[in-house]
Amino acid sequence: MLNIAVMVSGGGTNLQAIIDAVESGRIEGARIVLVVSSRAGAYALTRASTHGIPIFVAGKSEFPDDEERGAAIASALREAGADLIVLAGYMSILSPQLVGGFAGRIINIHPSLIPKHCGMGFYGKRVHMSVLAAGDAESGATVHYVDEGVDTGPIILQERVPVRAGDDEDSLAARVLEVEHRILVRAINRLIESNRLNNSTV
């Protein structure tokens, strides 16, 4: 059984996509053991609690010191027995210690076709505004491993989305978000499969 911890900051629709997939059996062999939020008011926490998933709030108000906050998150993740950490709308930068401590076991969903429109400052609506300003004919979503950079780890899955005439950042965001939900579940299933293969005895 793969223990998944999901890190959130906002509405949690990507978290909900994982919850629904686990509960419907579209994700097998995994369970969500913890939801960590950088904001106490994140609706994602309501989604977690509604489904009986433990939560842990670690924002600047709870832990003003960056290092203490990183250490608190790391111990919460370890206590929960997290094998895979999924950043789903998580708007805080992970400490190098945390990334190092869970190397190769943290993935992120980003609402563009990395390496375009990503990196520091490219989050939420800003991503889609950048795509529209560039006049791109298409955008999309990317699931990638998290390394010490911002949106720079190896890509796991990407799916393209057309930019339509008349699109604004809201209509493009909505079209990309649907793809995010789909490829995040697909990426988790791919990791479960490879985890099973790696652990399988020959």
- What value does the CA radius of gyration of the chain take, rounded to a whole number of Å? 17
Piece of 7-15, 21-29, 78-86, 92-100 that binds ligand GRF (CB under 6 A): 7-15
Beta carbon nearer to ligand GRF, 70 or 140: 140
Residue in 73, 83, 84, 111 binding ligand GRF, rule: CB under 6 A: 111
Q: What are the angstrom distances between the C-alpha of 12 and each of 70, 100, 134, 167?
A: 21, 25, 28, 24
| Alpha carbon distance 128, 187 (integer Å) | 22
Instruction: Give the residue from 93, 79, 71, 66 showing the smallest Cα distance to 7.
Output: 93
Cα–Cα dist 27/24, whole Å: 8
Cβ count within 10 A of residue 131: 27
Binder of ligand GRF out of 2, 11, 152, 182 (CB under 6 A)? 11
CB of 39 to ligand GRF, least distance (A): 11
Q: Kindly identify the residues of this chain, within the stretch 91-110, that bind ligand GRF according to CB under 6 A.
A: 109-110
10 is a contact residue toward ligand GRF (CB under 6 A): yes
Catalytic option among 51, 110, 117, 181: 110
Q: Does 177 bind ligand GRF (CB under 6 A)?
A: yes
Residue 164 vs 196, nearer CB to ligand GRF: 164
Distances 74 to 12, 47, 82, 118, 198 between C-alpha atoms, Å: 21, 22, 10, 25, 25
User: Closer to ligand GRF at the Cβ: 83 or 180?
Assistant: 180
13 lies in the binding site for ligand GRF (CB under 6 A): yes
Distances (CA, A) of 144 to 60, 93, 113, 176, 191: 26, 15, 11, 16, 12
Q: Establish if 151 lies at the interface with ligand GRF (CB under 6 A).
A: no
Residue 92's CB is within 10 A of a number of other CB atoms, namely: 19
In angstroms, rounded to a whole number, what is the distance separating the alpha carbons of residues 103 and 125? Answer: 29
Q: Does 59 bind ligand GRF (CB under 6 A)?
A: no
Interface with ligand GRF: number of residues (CB under 6 A): 16
Contact yes or no for 33/54 (Cβ under 8 A): yes
Does the active-site annotation cover 144?
Answer: no
The span of 13-21, 65-73, 151-159, 161-169 binding ligand GRF (CB under 6 A) equals 13-21
Residues that bind ligand GRF (CB under 6 A): 8, 10-15, 44, 88-89, 109-111, 124, 177, 180
**Residues involved in catalysis:** 110
